[in-house]
Amino acid sequence: MSAGQQLDKSALPQHLGIIMDGNGRWAKKRGLPRSAGHTAGANNFRTITRYCSRIGIPYLTVYAFSTENWRRPAEEVGALMRLFKQYLEEALRDFMDENIRVIFIGDTSAFSPELRELIARVERESSGKTGMVLNIAMNYGGRAELVHAMRLLAEDVQAGRLSPEAIDEDAISARLYTAGQPDPDLVIRPSGEHRTSNFLLWQSAYAEYVVMDILWPDFKTSDLDRALLEYASRNRRFGGV
């Protein structure tokens, strides 16, 4: 039995974040174009998502494309956009029998009308699902998310719906893309980089981080199990003793 199935439900994170990093290096190691790494990464995303749903993780957020990833060569961004489109078309065909609700977090208005339509359809067609909530972070940045939330707050104040004194942590959380969801308990970063890269900045104030020296396309369910066991052994204090 795998650790995911072995672990008591209460020892599992309520909300797991994964920074799906290392596709480019995976491809380079094999003498392949970076886009081949992204294809392998997308395939792995399907495997890991299904596994998370099966072992009973209630919320999963995956980082698929950051607000900074537009800085990459046009060819790579183009390949990623084609892959997103292909993935969403497949998801509409095959993924909808899974009991997973899909929500896109980030500024999706920057994507092509075709991709936006697919995003809207996946969200709509999965909206009645009662199992795991899957947040796909696309054109997501923690800072951009906070800017967006501040604008919403300013609008409410300007319109007289909210007084400045009423702005508290809950008022900010309620205006994030993850409104109503628990904060992530665990963030896993494969690829060995020790940084957040702008992922869930506000929400992960007290998240446990597990950095693993393994590239995302190579990341297996057994690696997830290792991270879950590591998480279960951590002593979370939240500033207390």
Beta strands in 20-171 (DSSP E): 59-66, 101-105, 133-140
Question: Please, which residues have CB within 8 angstroms of residue 39's CB and are 6 or more apart in sequence?
Answer: 83
* Beta carbon nearer to ligand IPE, 13 or 22: 22
Using the rule CB under 6 A, is 40 a contact of ligand IPE?
A: no
| DSSP bridge pairs for 211 | 189
Using the rule CB under 6 A, is 64 a contact of ligand IPE?
A: yes
Shortest CA distance to 180 belongs to which of 122, 108, 101, 68? Answer: 101
181-200: which residues touch ligand IPE (CB under 6 A)? 191, 193, 195, 197
Binding-site member from 19, 91, 132, 188 for ligand IPE (CB under 6 A): 19
Using the rule CB under 6 A, is 9 a contact of ligand IPE?
A: no
In the residue annotation, 69 being an active-site residue is answered as: yes
Please report how close the Cβ of residue 34 comes to ligand IPE at its closest, in angstroms: 6
| DSSP bridge pairs for 59 | 15, 133
Per-residue interface string for the shown chain with ligand IPE, residues 69-108, x marking contact by CB under 6 A:
x----------x----------------------------
| DSSP bridge pairs for 188 | 18, 210
Tokens of 13: 């994170």
User: How far apart, in Å, are the Cα atoms of 150 and each of 50, 144, 161, 174, 185?
Assistant: 35, 10, 14, 11, 24
* Beta carbon nearer to ligand IPE, 25 or 121: 25
Using the rule CB under 6 A, is 225 a contact of ligand IPE?
A: no
Using the rule CB under 6 A, is 30 a contact of ligand IPE?
A: no
Tokens of 83: 């892959």
* Residue 138 near residue 106, CB atoms below 8 Å: yes
* Beta carbon nearer to ligand IPE, 21 or 98: 21
In the residue annotation, 43 being an active-site residue is answered as: no
Site for ligand IPE, rule CB under 6 A: 19-25, 63-66, 69, 80, 191, 193, 195, 197
Binding residues for Mg(2+): 21, 208
